[in-house]
Amino acid sequence: MTAENEMIRKSYYKTLIDTYDNRHPISILGERYMEEMKKQRPDLSAIRYAQGEVYFFNKDYEAAIYKWGTPLDDELIPWAQKNIADAHLEMGLLEDAEKFYKDVQTDSVVLQAEILLQLFSLYIQQDRFENAVHAIKNAIELDPDYPDVTEIAKAFFENSKDWGNAVELAVNEAVRTKSLPWFEVLEGYVDQGHTTNYEPSYFRGVLVDLFHMDKYRFESLTEVMWNSYKSSDFYIQWLEEINDLIWNHNADESYMWKKLPNLFKQSYFELISGRYLIRDIAPLIQNHLTNWLTISSVSDILISATAILAWDDIFESDLDPTLVKEAAYHFENCSPYQNGRQDGIELFESMKTWAEKEDLLNDLTEFIQPMVEEYSIEVASPSKIRGLIKASIEFLKEKRVEVEHGIMEKITWNEELLAKLNDIHAQMEGMESEEVHVIKDSFRHMTNNFTQNLMTKLPELLRKSADIVHEDSDFKKIHIDLNNEMNKQVISYMENTGLQGFRDASQTWIEDCLREFKDRQMNMDEMSESFNQQYGEEKITLEADFKILNDWQRDLERISRELVHMEKTNFMLRNNPSQLLLKGAGKLFGSMTKNKEMLHIKYKNYIENEDYSQLIQDLLHPFLQQLESFERSIEWDVNNSFSNIYDGIGHVSDEVQKDMENHKNALATMHEKPEIYRDPLTLFEVKLRQHELMNA
């Protein structure tokens, strides 16, 4: 190893020079090189290798690489190849360095380890975490005793927060080296919470070794593991593991256990707290109680002994008779227990907590109230407190049937509520459909009446325009005057009578809708009140959205403006045959006095007998289009006003449905797994029996 150390430190050159020669090593080696060359068969391998080392230390890496690349003896070649990789690493040529390291072929474990460590360093520089992990783990596997390799790995894993590999390293090294510091490292990882995802069996070898090496350190590591598994899914597995370990490796009775007795005690009472079913804990109770009794000190052996006797009383034949006999012996020779009253009160309070979780606290409180008042529990004797607990257990056992009936009643009640909600929903849909029908019909009736009135009034106005035609009129342009007059009459009517008429009709329609909404609201109030009374609280509010009326009023006001912004119409400027004939006659005969009477009569007859319906319809077309669009939107608006009502009903339906499903699941569980309710009460009996024994 000495020669290999020189290779590792690149100090091989020192073996070729006189330590008392103060000249530079390059000068000395150069001189030796020249002397060797004078020989008939010179051997330059060692000198070249040594020169490469000196060049390397003087950062002349290219010269070093050249020297190490020249012909060398076989034993120096692998080291030279590794050194060439080192030189590339120093120059920052990391990819080249990696290639040279991997090309080295050697049987030397030391050289292989050095290469792996160099690769590890290289990968860290490249942030290639997985490769670095692989390299350092390979180095440990190759030679875990190689100087500092495990410490390097430990520091790397911790700095990288790679707790999986850190834990694996600590476990492997603890088992391999049997060195207490590694057990302490593992204990630290456990205490920091880095091992909760490991199955307890993973640590079996570590615990067994430490058990035989150092009982104190074993207790310390066991305690942190116990606490780390306490709130995990592996807790039962952990208890099985630690109990099997102590059972199979015979706890040393000469050693005074300091931490384990309390851990066993706490775990036992957790196991029988009602958190676990009896069938889940029964397989480990025998070992747990046996180990607990074995490691208990004289001062606290009464608790473990009475736990065994109480379990045996409730579950006959479950425990080994030898264990029961030993527990009875310790029980008979124990000092009296001093905390009976306080323990009894704590047991009673734990029962009340369980009853509250099962929604039975009020029933239990009502049942025990007379006894509590009679005993005055604050000062009651331990025996009276035990009597109170026993009566409570019996009451809660009988209460299960009532609980089942109560759940069935709640399911029925929820079904009735759900049916009622579905009925309300259906009524709302019917009410919505009816409201859409009524409101649309009333709107259509209002607009038809208004439109028909315009279709009647406007032609009358147009016919009255004939009054401006006289025998002395200028018939050459009378058609223009008539057209202007007709538009003037129509616009005047629309701006005054027509606009106000539409506003009055719209307002009347809005008021009719409001009455319709109020009638609907009255019906909905009655429905919601009836339902809420049945439910027992304000659960639904069927409230109409009246702001839709404001929207409608605004929209109708906007539509009404079409009545005062109408385009001028060509009443008398069209090119139909009648008008062309009149206008032609006016131009031809308008200046002849004897023909004016004839033109006067013809114009009046035309104006008074013309059918203006199509013209009026064209005039009103933009207005009527908006009314039609408004009518089409009524259904969507009414539907939207009901949406919050449906949302409210749906939300309550979901709540009722969920509540009903929960009760159905609870009932199914009670039928399929009666032990969920029964086991906690049975375990309360175990606790009560132990309490009676301890205070006998």
Neighbours of 143 (CB within 10 A): 14
> DSSP states of 198-219 as a string?
S-GGGGHHHHHHHHHH-HHHHH
Per-residue CA distances from 8 to 4, 97, 115, 156, 382 (Å): 6, 17, 10, 22, 78
What are the E-state strand segments in 241-383? none
User: Can you give the pLDDT at residue 581?
Assistant: 47
Rounded to an integer, what distance in angstroms lies between the CA atom of residue 267 and that of residue 261? 10
Neighbours of 419 (CB within 10 A): 10
In the chain, what percentage of residues exceed pLDDT 90? 49
pLDDT tens-place string over residues 520-559: 888 888 888 888 887 777 777 888 777 888 889 898 888 8
**Residue 43 buriedness (CB in 10 A; 0-12 / 13-18 / 19+):** exposed
Handedness of CA 473, 477, 479, 483 (dihedral sign): negative
Q: What value does the mean pLDDT take over residues 238-252?
A: 89
Chain Cα centroid distance, residue 208: 41
pLDDT tens-place string over residues 141-172: 999 999 999 999 999 999 999 999 999 999 99
Which amino acid is located at 526 in the chain? E
Q: How many helices and strands in the chain, by DSSP H and E?
A: 28, 0
User: Can you give the pLDDT at residue 614?
Assistant: 83
Provide the token pair at 520: 């609907």
Q: What value does the mean pLDDT take over residues 218-226?
A: 97
Rounded to an integer, what distance in angstroms lies between the CA atom of residue 482 and that of residue 488? 10
pLDDT tens-place string over residues 261-302: 999 999 999 999 988 999 999 999 999 999 999 999 888 899
Rounded to an integer, what distance in angstroms lies between the CA atom of residue 639 and that of residue 434? 11
User: Can you give the pLDDT at residue 592?
Assistant: 45
Average pLDDT, the chain: 87
Looking up tokens 């404001």 gives 550
Q: Which residue has the higher pLDDT, 641 or 346?
A: 346
Give the N- to C-terminal CA distance of the chain in Å, as an integer. Answer: 74
